[in-house]
């Protein structure tokens, strides 16, 4: 640990990085009844903290007599950090990216003067090429997190927090991907103020640090199970160096959902008028989860959340906006059965009164019944939602679909209804990789063997498209069908018995 403290104190990142402000978030502080401070790394020149570690590493490399340039594999903030640091220090930089990298990120790295090589269809394939080029051509590989000098560069954030905050700090919340950021912050803070709690926050589906600390060793998440929503922290395995610090210095790990992340993005926007990337809002989502779960009494001590970046694709904003209401439990989404007779729809609307309705889908079910999918936005108080649901339930059969992924992602955006005469229909939800040929690969395996009865696709600029599929599978072919699904390699969930599907898509009653 002494070695890391020395490295952090010696780190000179300010030729390119800024000392980012530590700001009070007044709106969220009032709502949570705690003093919440935001460490604004989204205000760095590349809108991310990554420039600190990259510059600290490359600054040392350029003094070596045999240095010819640096190379890395990244499609995100680390790529821009390496490119900017190399340009500032006069070093050649090569960035290897997957062929499916969005053009906006390729253009950003090109604009910083780095050479971009597009190869492969994933980060792992790009990293393999970068490693091979490093070995064959003599470039120095700059790892995004598993490097002592990179960790020390990120550790300057912890040093700044200690200088900037004069009042007591209860805990510092840090987003966790490969572990470099939290390792650097934790090493410095625990050395200087060991009583301050260091709390790491990960997204569900990419919680590799949580898994590693639980196992007592680094573990690798399965590639097909890795959730890419918070792409800035979507890492399968934490770094060796970061893990050694983390097991000594991290007090607690928290995992949060996509909805909680989206709600935190909205919270930060309301206080700063900045839209962060999903990974950038992880820490604040962790603060909110921590206060909700711990039921901690009010305290004068501050909670610090590191806002790590704001490089968000514009076409993801609709998805973030939709899911932020669910993250705050502000939207009640209900499946309601009403009589299919004149005046019944009007009576239901009268029962709702002057509510803020976000969704209203009416569908004839049979001669006696109709189904409604109703979204109602409240002021964000769960007790209001509970009272409203109880009021409706006294008059109609109701199914609460507020936390139902199929309802949120698919059913509310679909027309149509159940079809008579479909035997052995099963429903599955998939994540299709956003790359050419993804659908063709799926259909090549399944299209000629099974009858597809329903197909609904949605995407918001993320790494995956969300797909809901209905397919007829004879009872005797279920085992073979599941083996075929596994051979495709896409993440999937069976939704055949999902209440949202039974209410609006299938013939179940």
The DSSP line for 171-212 is: EEEEE-SSSHHHHHHHHHHHHH-TTSEEEEEEETT--HHHHH
Q: 283 and 201 in contact (C-beta within 8 Å)?
A: yes
Q: 471 vs 478, 487, 504, CA distance in Å? A: 11, 17, 16
The residues assigned a catalytic role are 50, 308
The three-state DSSP-derived secondary structure of 115-148 is: EEEECCCCHHHHHHHHHHHHHHHCCEECCCCCCH
**192 half-sphere exposure, CB direction, 13 A CA radius:** 20
The DSSP line for 255-322 is: EE-HHHHHHHHHHHHHHHS----GGGGHHHHHHHHHHHHH-PPP-SSEEEEEE-B----GGGHHHHHH
How many Å apart are CA 371 and CA 501, to the nearest integer?
12
Parallel, antiparallel or unpaired: strands 197-203 and 252-256: parallel
Which H or E run includes 95? Answer: strand 93-97
Which residues does residue 174 pair with via DSSP β-bridges, in sequence order? 200
Name which of 235, 216, 226, 130 is nearest 175 in CA terms. Answer: 235
Q: How many helices (H) and strands (E) does the chain have?
A: 19, 18
How many Å apart are CA 307 and CA 454, to the nearest integer?
41
DSSP SS3 for 453: strand
């Amino acid at each position: 640990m002494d070695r890391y403290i020395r490295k952090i104190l010696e780190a000179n990142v300010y030729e390119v990085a800024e000392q980012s402000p530590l700001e009070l978030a007044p709106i969220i502080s009032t709502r949570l009844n705690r003093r919440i401070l935001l460490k604004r790394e989204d205000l760095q020149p590349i809108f991310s903290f990554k420039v600190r570690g990259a510059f600290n590493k490359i600054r040392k490399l350029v003094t070596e007599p045999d240095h010819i340039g640096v190379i890395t594999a990244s499609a995100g903030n680390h790529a821009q950090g390496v490119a900017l640091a190399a340009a500032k220090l006069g070093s050649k930089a090569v960035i290897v990216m997957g062929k499916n990298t969005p053009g906006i990120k390729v253009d950003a790295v090109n604009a910083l003067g780095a050479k971009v090589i597009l190869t492969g269809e994933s980060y792992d394939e790009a990293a393999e090429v970068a490693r091979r080029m490093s070995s064959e051509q003599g470039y120095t590989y700059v790892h995004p997190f598993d490097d002592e000098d990179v960790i020390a560069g990120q550790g300057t954030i912890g040093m700044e927090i200690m200088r900037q905050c004069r009042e007591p700090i209860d805990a510092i919340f840090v987003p966790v991907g490969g572990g470099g950021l939290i390792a650097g912050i934790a090493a410095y803070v625990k050395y200087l103020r060991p009583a301050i709690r260091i709390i790491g926050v990960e997204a569900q589906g990419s919680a590799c640090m949580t898994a590693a600390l639980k196992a007592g060793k680094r573990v690798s998440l399965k590639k097909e199970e890795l959730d890419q929503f918070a792409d800035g922290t979507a890492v399968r395995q934490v770094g060796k160096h970061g893990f050694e610090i983390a097991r000594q210095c991290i007090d607690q790990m928290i995992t949060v959902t996509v909805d909680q992340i989206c709600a935190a993005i909205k919270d930060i926007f309301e206080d700063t008028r900045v839209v962060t990337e999903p990974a950038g809002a992880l820490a604040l989502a962790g603060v909110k989860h921590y206060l909700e779960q711990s039921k901690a009494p009010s305290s004068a001590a501050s909670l610090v959340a590191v806002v790590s970046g704001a490089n968000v694709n514009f076409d993801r904003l609709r998805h973030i906006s939709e899911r932020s209401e669910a993250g705050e439990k502000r939207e009640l989404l209900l499946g309601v059965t009403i009589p299919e007779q004149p005046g019944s729809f009007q009576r239901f609307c009268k029962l709702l009164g002057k509510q803020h309705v976000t969704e209203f889908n009416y569908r004839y079910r049979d001669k006696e019944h109709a189904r409604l999918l109703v979204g109602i936005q409240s002021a964000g108080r769960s007790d209001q939602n509970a009272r409203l649901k109880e009021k409706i339930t006294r008059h109609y059969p109701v199914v609460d679909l507020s936390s139902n992924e199929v309802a949120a992602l698919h059913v509310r955006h679909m027309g149509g209804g159940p079809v008579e005469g479909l035997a052995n229909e099963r429903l599955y939800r998939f994540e299709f990789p956003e790359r050419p040929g993804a659908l063709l690969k799926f259909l090549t395996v399944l299209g000629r063997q099974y009858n597809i009865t329903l197909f609904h696709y949605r995407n918001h600029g993320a790494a995956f498209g969300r797909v809901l599929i209905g397919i007829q599978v004879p009872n005797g072919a279920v085992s073979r069908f599941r083996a075929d699904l596994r051979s495709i390699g896409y993440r999937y969930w069976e939704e055949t018995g999902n209440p949202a599907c039974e209410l609006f898509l299938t013939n179940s009653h």
